[in-house]
Chains A and B, each alone.
Chain A
Amino acid sequence: MAEHEEHIDEMSSHLAPAGPAILAPGHTFATITDKISAVVLSRDTPAAWLLATGGFGLLMMWLLFATAYQLARGIGIWGVNIPVAWGFAIVNFVWWIGIGHAGTLISAILLLLKQKWRNSINRFAEAMTLFAVMCAGYYPVMHLGRPWLAYWLFPYPNTMGVWPQFRSALVWDVFAVSTYFTVSLIFWYQGLIPDLATLRDRSQSKAGRIIYGILAMGWRGSARHWKRYDSSYRLLAGLATPLVVSVHTVVSFDFAIAVVPGWHTSIFPPYFVAGAIYSGFAMVLVLAIPIRRIYGLDDFITTKHLDNCAKLMLATGEIVAYGYIIESFMAWYSGNLYERYMILDRMGGKYSIFYICLISINVFFVQVLWIRRIRRSPALLFLVSVIVLAAMWLERFVIVVQSLHADFLPSSWAMYYPTFWDITQFLGTIGLFAFGMLMFIRFLPMISIFEIRELLPEAHVSLQEVD
Chain B
Amino acid sequence: MPFIPNIQAFCCHYTSQQTLAEGPEGLLADGFPKNVTIHRLVCTGKLEVSTLLKAFEDGADGVYVAGCPVDQCHNLMGSQRAAKRVGAIKKALAELGVEPERIEMYHLERGFHPEFVKVAQEMHERITTLGPSPFQGGTK
* A is bound by B: no
Q: Which B residues lie at the A interface, using CB under 8 A?
A: none
